[in-house]
Structure 1
Amino acid sequence: MRFLHPLLIVAFVVIATSCSYKQNQLLFQNRVSALTDTAQQAPVTPYRIQPQDALQIRNLQNLKYIVDEVPMSSGNGGTSAGGNIAGSGQTYQVEDDGTITLPAIGHVQVAGLTRTQAAKMIEDLYRKNLLKDPLIELKVTNLKVTLLGEVKSPGNIPLLKDNTTLVEIIGQAGGLTPAASEKDVKIIRGKGKGQKVHLIDLSDLNSISDPRTVMQNGDIIYVAQNKRAIRTENLQNFNTWAQPALLLLNTALIIFTLSRQ
């Protein structure tokens, strides 16, 4: 029976090392280096409205919107003069010619403007033609980023405000998983020949002020596994076929030992 002991020890070690582990990320702990010149010079440009964008527009000066429990919403176009724009707000799609059709005003060219510029222009138009002291809020509701990899809730996340950062997006997704590598976060930005991949190290405190981490529409964010998680996964894959083989070998040795007695 002494032949069984080494094999049983090996089997125990393999099974024990397949147990789960807990890995805590070390975020923003070190200042490993200053930002590169390229990162420092990377401009943070505000998004400009494009055809097919969806714009949610409402007048914050209308107190009825604050009182109403369930604000009204509707599709494209307008209804009674100033009714929807002064009340709960609604969503307008930017047409191929770059315009939206607003109640009592008609076609307004918004393509090429930033969110702030478009809101100011619409505010001025309603002040001139219909409303007293309007305060227009405008959101581009179709902007999003895609978050993949080792985060708790991966998927598409809308960009509802300007200058949303990588840290905010990861926070909205519930944070990193224990298997995440905080030093290996990739932002894939752009399409075709202009596509770039930015590697972000979230263990570096400087990453908070890195302009590359300001999210842009269409960004793909991938959080890689850490080395320990990769090793554990490989070991678990090994165990899926090693454990049955060890069990079979143990059984064969027991039978062989008993037959020799």
Structure 2
Amino acid sequence: MFRTDGDMNMDKMRASLATAEKNYVIQPNDYLDVRVYTNRGERILDPNGEILRNLSSGGVLQNQMEEKPRFLVQSNGIVKLPMVDYVKVSGLTLLETDSLLQVMFTKFYKDVYVITKVLNNRIIVLGAPGGKVIPMTNDNMNLIEVLAAAGGVDKTGKVHNIRLIRGDLQNPSVQVINLSTIEGMRKAALNVEPNDIVYVEPVRRVFLEALADYMPVFSALTGVLTTYIVIKDLVQN
């Protein structure tokens, strides 16, 4: 899988890395955590406690009250939020979204402070560790953390041939990474960004692979031979 000629498109990878260092751009189907504070960060959304009081009077459990609300960005890039209703956020960075919502919530509160986070950023790991989806726990997550979260790379994977695939799959940028040496790790761009694909090439076991490929043929021949022996034995008897 994902074979390449040489060590890949490093200029494109560096450009992608520079983009990754900036704020994440919100996309359709993202889940957002939006926190609104008043008095420049002193009090959170619902400063009078009316929502929590209503929930409490309705018998809602404490863990449900403490659960973080998640707001889905629809396919048209619009998210529905309390009080401000529908807001177009697709294509905006998190900082731009914070500024936009700060202006909108100023209609209701004084000295508004907004923090927006994306809750469903993830990295896909394929190959030796198996197919796994790793949630991004922070914006500075690197390849080593991703591999550790996927269970690490044991003797079934080639740590000298790891591919970091980024961008549009029709024309992706791919970096071949060698983690078998400190020098190889030092040369690599190890920062990851949302929706990256990490592929760890498995160690090939030629004999076992060939055996698995020919096993159906062996099974068929064995079945035919067994049937022939049974029929011959019946005829002779």
| Structure 1 residue 186: Cα displacement | 1.3
Cα distance in 2, alignment partners of residues 218 and 42 from structure 1: 12
User: Equivalent of 2:136, from 128, 142, 159?
Assistant: 159
Cα 1:53–1:196 shift into 2, 3 Å: same
Q: Secondary structure at the match of 2:200?
A: strand
Q: Secondary structure at the match of 1:44?
A: helix
User: Equivalent of 1:44, from 18, 21, 33?
Assistant: 18
User: Equivalent of 2:202, from 221, 225, 236?
Assistant: 225
| Structure 1 residue 98: Cα displacement | 2.4
Does structure 1 retain, via aligned residues, the 8 Å contact 2:13–2:175?
no
Tell me the equivalent position of 2:116.
Answer: 138
Cα 1:90–1:233 shift into 2, 3 Å: same
Equivalenced residues, count: 185
Cα distance in 1, alignment partners of residues 33 and 97 from structure 2: 12
Cα distance in 2, alignment partners of residues 116 and 140 from structure 1: 12
Cα distance in 1, alignment partners of residues 156 and 75 from structure 2: 45
Cα displacement string for residues 68-90 of structure 1 (whole angstroms, at most 9, x for unaligned residues): 962538xxxxxxxxxxxxxx541
| Structure 1 residue 235: Cα displacement | 9.9
Pairs within 5 Å for 1:242-261 = none
User: Equivalent of 1:72, from 50, 65, 73?
Assistant: 65
**Structure 1: which 5+ runs fail to align?**
1-35, 74-87, 242-261
TM-score (norm 1): 0.55
Tell me the equivalent position of 1:109.
Answer: 88
Does structure 2 retain, via aligned residues, the 8 Å contact 1:139–1:161?
no
Q: Secondary structure at the match of 1:194?
A: coil
User: Equivalent of 2:148, from 154, 167, 171?
Assistant: 171
Quote the RMSD (CA, aligned, Å).
3.8
Q: Secondary structure at the match of 1:193?
A: coil
Aligned sequence identity (%): 25
Cα 1:42–1:189 shift into 2, 3 Å: closer
Q: Secondary structure at the match of 2:97?
A: helix
Cα distance in 1, alignment partners of residues 155 and 62 from structure 2: 40
Does structure 2 retain, via aligned residues, the 8 Å contact 1:39–1:210?
no
Tell me the equivalent position of 2:231.
Answer: none
Cα displacement string for residues 41-85 of structure 1 (whole angstroms, at most 9, x for unaligned residues): 5543243112332212234743999xx962538xxxxxxxxxxxx
Cα distance in 2, alignment partners of residues 38 and 189 from structure 1: 10
Does structure 1 retain, via aligned residues, the 8 Å contact 2:164–2:175?
yes
**Structure 2: which 5+ runs fail to align?**
1-9, 38-42, 53-60, 219-237
TM-score (norm 2): 0.60
Tell me the equivalent position of 1:207.
Answer: 185
The AA in structure 2 aligned to 1:137 is I
Q: Secondary structure at the match of 2:70?
A: strand
Q: Secondary structure at the match of 2:65?
A: coil
| Structure 1 residue 204: Cα displacement | 4.0
